[in-house]
Structure formats: structure tokens, C-alpha cells
Amino acid sequence: MPEISRDEVAHLATLARIDLDDAELDHLAPQLSVILESVASISGVAGDDVPPTSHPLPVTNVFREDVVVPSLTAEQALSGAPASEQQRFAVPRILGDEQ
């Protein structure tokens, strides 16, 4: 399995929406490589005939009757928001300058 480079960690940080500074990148890249090396030990353990298990129990959709029940009020739902306006979450701009 491939070793993880500093540039790859920077790319992954972008995908994960985390700004990492240079010191963090220097620190993390070798640690992730060590973890991945250890994880590589299981690559040949299970044959093609072994089905994957995503969950310890069989998972099925759970439904309830379509009845209106009390839920959080808008005020409660917004109570932890960093910013809100007119009973809505206020967020920074979502589209880029060119859009």
C-alpha cells in the first residue's frame, strides 16, 4: 500500500475542509504513514469469498406513522448557531466570485 506524502496530506486536508499549517503537515504526514503501514498488515487476510460486514446487526429502515409530533422550535434549533437572521441560519457566501 502506498506511503502518504506531505503533498497528499495537504490535498486530503483540503478535501476534509481543514486548513493545516506547515508545521502540522510536517508532523502529520509521517504519523499517517506509520498508521497506514500497520494497517497494510490486513490487506491479504480475507479472501474474495468473505462478505464485508458494515454493521454488527442487520440494519433496516425504521418507519413510524406519519403523524405530527412535537419537535424543536426554530428558536431551539437556532440556539447554538454562530449567527442567525429572521429565524434562519446566517452563513457566509456559498458561491465564488466568478459565479
Footprint of another protein (CB under 8 A): 1, 4, 8-9, 12-21, 24, 27-28, 31-32, 34-36, 38-39, 41-43, 45-46, 50-57, 59-62, 64, 72, 76-77, 79-83, 89, 91-96
Q: Give the nearest distance from C-beta 92 to another protein in angstroms.
A: 5
Q: Give the nearest distance from C-beta 42 to another protein in angstroms.
A: 5
Q: Give the nearest distance from C-beta 14 to another protein in angstroms.
A: 8
Q: Give the nearest distance from C-beta 25 to another protein in angstroms.
A: 10
| Contact in structure between 87 and 74 (CB atoms under 8 Å) | yes
Torsion 65-69-73-74 (CA) sign = positive
Q: Could you tell me which of 40, 44, 57 has the C-alpha nearest to residue 2?
A: 40
The SS3 assignment for 23 reads helix
Closer to another protein by CB, 85 or 91: give it: 91
In angstroms, the Cα distances linking 82 to 6, 72, 85, 94 are: 33, 18, 11, 16
